[in-house]
Amino acid sequence: MKPFKTVTADAAEQLIADAKPLILDCRDLKDYRAGHIENAMHVHEQLRDSLLKKGDKARDMLIYCYYGHASEHLAEMFCDFGFKQVYSLAGGYAGWKEHHKPTGDL
Residues noted as catalytic: 65
Among 40, 43, 65, 86, binds ligand THJ (CB under 6 A): 65
Min CB(96)–ligand THJ separation in Å? 12
One-letter amino acid of 50: S
67 binds ligand THJ (CB under 6 A): yes
# residues near ligand THJ by CB under 6 A: 7
DSSP assignment of the chain equals --SSEEE-HHHHHHHHHHH--EEEE-S-HHHHHH--STT-EE--HHHHHHHHHHS-TTS-EEEE-SSSSHHHHHHHHHHHTT-S-EEEETTHHHHHHHTT------
Which range of residues in 6-14, 15-23, 52-60, 68-76 is near ligand THJ by CB under 6 A? Answer: 68-76
Min CB(30)–ligand THJ separation in Å? 14
6 binds ligand THJ (CB under 6 A): no
Binding site for ligand THJ (CB under 6 A): 65-70, 92
